[in-house]
Structure 1
Amino acid sequence: MSNRNTQANKAAARERIRAERERQQKKERLRRQIVVAGAVVGVLAVAGGIGFMVLKANEPTGWEAAKDAKPVAPAHTQGKNGTEILIGDKNAKETLEVFEDIRCPACASFEQSTGEALAKDIKDGRYRVRFSLYTFIDDTPAGGEGSKNALSALGAALNISPEAFLKYKAALYSAKYHPEEQVDTYGKDAELLKVAATVPELKGNKAFETAVTKGTYDRWALDMGALFGRKGVRGTPTFMHDDKKLTIPQVPQQQMTQAQYNQLAQANFRKMIDKEFGPAKGSGKPDPGKGGSAGEKGQNGIREGEKDPTASR
């Protein structure tokens, strides 16, 4: 073999080795680029996931979210966002306004002693009742969510029927279930559903139960509670006819049974109602005409379809 061929073969071999080395280096660089790119994508994906979780964590929930929810008014309501609850004979000439808070112990005492008398007057068509239900006790040092939560559940009951609403309200106020003012029992849906199971119209009613657990009427409850202070009312229970605040005579502070107390409380409620509206039909007493004040504008309560000029604060 000549020296020339030997040198040529060696040069060719070196060129092959160099080309192979460059090919392997390019392959390694490409591999590293792919690994780095994958790592960057992974980091971005993790960062994006963390950002999404932080965003979700910062989204309002519960009653904060309810403030921005679309208003859903129960059936059997009227007025702006359904905040007027008028129950009774549409032909009744008078409207009694009742202001309550479900956590209010005095409201519970009234319902337990006198609620049946009020319900009878509604049934007899003596007057209609506009219920203004507030939630201010949740904002007192007692704290909690029971007033709002119970009011939302009452909205679900009202959506079923006015009768279901009245029976459920009475059950929530009952001596068996109504909690102490400082105890936020009604902040729990399970407790509200337990009480509802005692109301025939609500027991096993899936539509009602779903509305309670999903908070369908949470925004409505907030809108109702926002009317606190309407007509200057800052305490519960309060009774009004037009712009006139009515006062129930107090039961004497003396030792008596619960039955005796209830009898006196009902009698005092009757005195207040008779003084304002005149004796009930069939009472045997002379009818002196419509009792009480009709207000400065001669209004006899808020009639269906009429605008309540005091509704806004």
Structure 2
Amino acid sequence: MSDKNREGKRTARERMLAERAEDEARGRRRKKLIVGGVALAVIAAAVVTGVVVQDQRSKPETPAAAPAGTIGDKNLIVPVGSDNAPSVLTVYEDPRCPACGIFEREFSPTISQLEDAGKIFTNYHIVSFIDRAVPGKGSKYAANALGCAQDAGHFRDYHDVLYRNQPDETNDAFGDKAVLINLGRQVDGLVTPSFEACVNDLEFSGWVSAVQQDFDKSNFKSTPTVLLNGQPIYPKFNNEEITPANLVKWVDAANQGKQVGTPGTHGQSPAPTSTASEPNNPSPKAG
């Protein structure tokens, strides 16, 4: 066989091997893309269940009892701070929501300082939709426990304790009433026989359902939803990212020329004579 023929066969064999190797590489890449796509879809679904309200809707339920000091239509709002403060901070959050936990751990000291200075009146809407998508009862049980803490006059401190000790979204630790009661021991004076009975008996379960029903009917679809005087400020306001410093700046700008309020109690402010300060669920522009 001539050198030329041998060279031609070698070239053809090398080309065939190269083509086969390329086909195998394409197959491996295709398999990785398929597996990766499935993984991304699973991750995306997990994230969405953490922050976005599902299409399911809570059944209509009128609360038989609401925690003491709650305000607004049907007493669905937990107020913190002075009701005559010049600005209203409205917060919608779910106890199992990871994004809410991040928000609270970063912003609760600043919010507390603004409340104590009489600059803001915070209105909390404690929703409980995550139980619909992630197995468990932690959202509802924790929301009820927060209602019990409000009824006892210790909402703010207990609220902060829950978010500092928030489990992973898929861990239903808050579905254990004993866990909720034990966390209450971090708040001086909260855990009493009345508080324990309130948590164990789900005394405010109807109220919890009514708060969620109200959220379902609103234009808000995710938590946390944070409004300053009715304007969405999370995660941005006027093209600026929300930070503790920016929150103080925005509140001070909104309060310019206005008299600060008289700081109220931390967990149970007197109900105002009017609920006009509560916004009528405007469509969020951020968050």
Say whether the fold is shared (TM-score over 0.5): yes
3-state SS, counterpart of residue 97 of structure 1: strand
Counterpart in 2 of 1:150?
142
Is the 1:149–1:187 Cα contact (8 Å) retained in structure 2?
Answer: yes
Structure 2 Cα separation of the partners of residues 70 and 230 of structure 1: 16
3-state SS, counterpart of residue 119 of structure 2: coil
Structure 2 Cα separation of the partners of residues 309 and 271 of structure 1: 22
Which consecutive segments of 4 or more residues in structure 1 shift more than 4 A?
Answer: 66-70
**TM-score (normalised: structure 2):** 0.65
Counterpart in 2 of 1:103?
96
Matched, 1:219 2:206: yes
Higher relative contact order (CA 8 A, sep 6+): 2
Matched, 1:270 2:245: yes
Structure 1 Cα separation of the partners of residues 216 and 253 of structure 2: 28
Unaligned runs of 5+ in 2: 1-58, 259-270, 282-287
3-state SS, counterpart of residue 226 of structure 1: helix
Structure 1 Cα separation of the partners of residues 176 and 62 of structure 2: 21
2:109 to 94, 110, 116: 116
Structure 1 residues 179 and 274, CA, compared in 2 at 3 Å: closer, same or farther? Answer: same
**Offset, 1:125:** 0.6
2:85 to 92, 95, 98: 92
Counterpart in 2 of 1:166?
156
Is the 1:144–1:184 Cα contact (8 Å) retained in structure 2?
Answer: yes
Structure 2 Cα separation of the partners of residues 182 and 268 of structure 1: 28
Q: Name which one, 1 or 2, has greater alpha-carbon Rg.
A: 1
3-state SS, counterpart of residue 243 of structure 2: helix
Is the 1:100–1:237 Cα contact (8 Å) retained in structure 2?
Answer: yes
1:310 to 260, 276, 280: 280
**TM-score (normalised: structure 1):** 0.60
Counterpart in 1 of 2:188?
200
CA RMSD of aligned residues (A): 3.0
Matched, 1:135 2:137: no
Aligned residue pairs, count: 209
**Offset, 1:88:** 1.1
Is the 2:90–2:230 Cα contact (8 Å) retained in structure 1?
Answer: no
